[in-house]
Structure formats: structure tokens, C-alpha cells
Amino acid sequence: AYYSSLFSHLPQKQRSPMLTSLWQHDPFHNEWHFLTGVYSTLRNLLNQENISFKDWISSAVEPLGIPVKGKYMQLLGWKVANNTVTRDQIQAVKPALKPIDELGLFSQCLKKLTVANP
């Protein structure tokens, strides 16, 4: 869903298979699972601070080494042509980060999120 807006100009019927292809080849599955797991743990706190899931993702991708929306397609070698996504060349992309735990991710996200009671 994070990358869905890359294809917002297309109807959902065309967007869905493209996102499925991206997800099947995404090298960041572990990072996405970690990110959502930390969110689940902190959901009540984040909701009290009016921090949406979308805001959480936007603040968490960079500390986890997940490419931001504007760089994802290029970094992973994807191209859009005729309403499909293809890869000219498969990029060997690995997260460039040091190990991080839940508290470390939360601390990094607090640098970008506005909270009244950290």
C-alpha cells in the first residue's frame, strides 16, 4: 500500500497486478514485517498522538533502509511500460543499516513525528 500512490493515475484494476509484482520481488519483506509489528505494539500510543499508520510508515522506512517512494522503482530496477512493471536488470539491493530493535526504530521515528508525550 505504501507504494500504491506511485500508480495513482491508473485504475485499481491495473494498479493491483503491478503492486503484486513489486511485492513478490521486494527484498524488504523482513523490514516490512518488523515495521508493522512495531506499529502494532505502539498502536494505542500512536493513535493517542494522532499519528496515522501512513505517517508511521513514512517515518519508519528510512531508518530500516527501505527505499522511499520516489526512489523505489529506480533503486530496484523497475520500469513502467504499457501499464505493467518490468525489470530491465535485477538490482542487488540490501538494506544498508545497522541492526535496530523496536526501541531504536521508535526513537528514530520520533525524530520525524510530532508527539506531545514521547
pLDDT digits (tens, 9 = 90+) for 59-98: 999 888 888 998 888 888 888 877 777 776 555 555 555 5
pLDDT digits (tens, 9 = 90+) for 8-63: 888 899 889 889 988 998 888 988 998 999 999 989 988 998 989 999 999 999 88
Measured in whole angstroms, how far is the alpha carbon of residue 64 from the centre of its chain? Answer: 9
Least Cα distance to 91 among 105, 110, 72, 107 occurs for 72
Write down the residue that cell numbers 513525528 correspond to: 113
User: In sequence order, which ranges of 8-101 are alpha helices (DSSP H)?
Assistant: 12-24, 29-48, 53-60, 69-75
pTM over 0.85: no
pLDDT of residue 43: 93
- C-alpha 56/C-alpha 106 separation (Å) is 9
Enumerate the domain spans of the chain. 8-110
